[in-house]
Chain A
Amino acid sequence: MNISPNKKPSARFAPWDDPAQKPLVRFGNVTKRFGSFTAIDNISLDIYEREFFALLGPSGCGKTTMMRMLAGFEKPSEGTISLGGEDIADIPPYKRPVNMMFQSYALFPHMTVEANIAFGLKQDKWPKQQISERVEEMLSLVQLTKFAKRKPHQLSGGQRQRVALARSLAKKPKLLLLDEPLGALDKKLREKTQFELMDIQEKLGMTFVIVTHDQEEAMTVASRIAVMDDGKLIQVATPEVIYEYPNCRYVADFIGDVNLVEGRISTTAEEMVKLSWAEGQGDIDISYKNGCSAGENACLAIRPEKVHVTREEPQDVDNKIRGVIHDIAYIGNLSTYYVKLGNGQIFRAQESNRRRLANREFTWDDQVWLSWRNTAGVLLQK
């Protein structure tokens, strides 16, 4: 595939890998308790300028609390939060250079679209002329110029979402917080709006922090993702790393589909381990760089799309297992084969449907071979 040169940045945007870069936001050992419940458990996290940072996790994992602490609606029980090097723990929300787009949009129902966008500017006592210019600019940014005089209830869901975005951008905040910004939109509109959000973020060169429970949304928009669970950060990395190199079962399982094969490391060679996983089955080769020793319990995580299904025994592959097709999930572009292995475990393999359904190669109860390269999966230690 061709990538046009202007789309490809000359230097990869990765301030987190550059020790000279100063973070815009720094959580330093932040803990937040509500009564006896610990919502955030000793989190340290850096977010850099111009990042589109996603906090991802199931509901109740503490991601919203992280965001509300950035906005100033909650104070950390312990630890520090700094913005541009300044400790903001004691600065009230109305004095922070941070704006938020609310999940419910929180548009003021008694004001027009225009007045909603101008609200923060009036509050900051901008001159009249500048306010109307800025409102104009914001309206054209979100393509709502025609709707300036309407009230929020006269708009559709997608339009409301854009008003909310325009209002939170109007004051040119150093940091924009988005709380499940697309949750109320239907799937098609959500996908379209994700790209709009990315365009706007790139155009304005601002720092966005998004809270979401939708992993696809996080993967699409974010420069980095922090996967959270139970008040802790589990893994903070780029979408590719999170997907290809999850650091634990939780992340592997939470992001996308995964096959987990439990076993014991039988031998370790240079950058290669063998995992013994079931009696009477050959060991699985896994490419692995970090240290580990034989006898340890470990687990192979491999994505279904990296496993091939063939009728004939494949040659020149690193790993192969026999199985019987137990179930087929056909979703149009893809089919997922649920293959039952000799030990009863169900293994998922995904193939894209390049041919029409009538010519499908496999059907229920077929004997097949599963195969994958030793670099396709990752080894997860306990």
Chain B
Amino acid sequence: MNRRFTWFNATSLTLGFVFLYLPILLLVIFSFNESRLVTVWAGFSTKWYVELFQDEAFLDAALVTLRVALLSATIATILGTLAAVVMIRAGRFKGRTLFSGMIYAPLVMPEVITGLSLLLLFVAIGIDRGFWTITIAHITFSMCYAAVVVSSRMVTFDTSLEEAATDLGCTPFQSFIKVTLPIMAPAIISAWLLAFTLSLDDLVIASFTSGPGATTLPMKIYSQVRLGVTPQINALSTILISIVTLGVLTASFLTRRAESKRKADELLAGS
């Protein structure tokens, strides 16, 4: 590999990062703007953050979003894990390809269509739209992602581990709990994190399936922006960005530590 520093490399690197991060950087800077005008700098202030935390509508939306995300991520992970177990373990049966295809299809389904079809369903069976319908909708689409993440790890899972547990006296259920789950835990946690993030991010499906009294944060931001961008929104977005960044950094730190520990262990085994 050519590791030499050239002007060409430097330029493309800079351009790339500017392209990716300039909008976000502007947003963060202007969240600390004294002025109400978003595009004019008038000095440093944290007053929009203070105001944000006094705005009950925003806090409500944040709470709804968080509850929806926690609940839907948890249920979607459970269902997705079960689906993955079935897909990998059931072996060959008639219609297996169709079945697995149908699990993965919603990944590429346009969100608008998913949202619309769920809306029609809820209307048809007469459920009042609100917190629960958003949660159910989020479970529906994030379950597929969870299934994909878990099954990609499940493929490499050595089934003789479960057989060994059974051989040593575990019922199939016990061996799943004592052996399979702990080994699969990292994949299940990343599936949960992915489902959680997807639910936090979602605007389109939530808009279709929500009703009065249940507004998620992305919906709230979107409706506010239509009336004009306020520095409050910038402040809120900055908070969200910080949370996500913190999460990503923690995850990569944990991964790196596990990796270096594994390398040290392998050295130990060789000695």
Contact = CB atoms under 8 A, between A and B. Distances in A.
A102 B163 contact: yes
Given A153-B262, A153-B269, A155-B269, A171 B168 contact: yes
A99 interface: yes
B167 to A, nearest CB: 5
A106 B169 contact: no
B212 interface: no
Contacts of B168: 94, 99, 119-120, 123, 167, 171
B265 A104 contact: no
A94 B182 CA distance: 20
A151 interface: yes
Contacts of B269: 153-156, 159
A93 interface: yes
Q: Is the interface of B mostly helix, strand, loop or mixed?
A: helix
Given A73-B166, A100-B164, A123-B170, 19 more contacts: A71-B163, A72-B167, A93-B163, A94-B166, A94-B169, A99-B167, A108-B179, A108-B183, A110-B183, A119-B165, A120-B168, A124-B169, A151-B265, A153-B262, A153-B265, A154-B268, A156-B269, A159-B269, A171-B169
Interface in A46-103: 71-73, 92-94, 98-100, 102-103
Contacts of A256: none
B183 A109 contact: yes
9 contacts: A73-B163, A92-B171, A94-B169, A99-B167, A104-B158, A106-B164, A108-B179, A119-B165, A120-B168
B163 A106 contact: yes
A94 B167 contact: yes
Interface residues of A, number: 31
Interface of A: 71-73, 92-94, 98-100, 102-104, 106-110, 119-120, 123-124, 150-151, 153-156, 159, 167-168, 171
B29 interface: no
Contacts of B266: 153-154
Contacts of B160: 102-104, 106
A154 B265 contact: yes
B161 interface: yes
Interface string B232-271: 0000000000000000000000000000001001101110
Residue among B161, B165, B168, B266 with the highest chain A CB neighbour number at 10 A: B168
Contacts of B171: 92, 94
Nearest to B158: A104
Contact of A156 (B170, B183, B270): B270
Contacts of B262: 153
B163, B171, B269 — which one has the most chain A CB atoms within 10 A of its CB?
B269
Interface string B164-197: 1111111100100001001100000000000000
Contacts of A159: 269
A150 B269 CA distance: 9
Contacts of A71: 163, 167
A340 B262 CA distance: 58
A99 B165 CA distance: 10
Contacts of A93: 163, 166-167
B98 to A, nearest CB: 21
Give 3 nearest A-B pairs by CB, closest first. Answer: A120-B168, A123-B169, A106-B164
A72 B168 CA distance: 12
A241 B161 CA distance: 38
A3 to B, nearest CB: 39
Contacts of A120: 168-169
Interface string B144-164: 000000000000001011011
Contacts of B161: 106, 108
Nearest to A104: B160
A167 B265 CA distance: 22
A107 B169 CA distance: 15
A150 B267 CA distance: 13
A352 B54 CA distance: 96
A103 B270 CA distance: 21
Of the listed residues A73, A94, A119, A124, the one surrounded by the most CB atoms of chain B closer than 10 A to its CB is A94
Contact of B170 (A73, A94, A106): A94
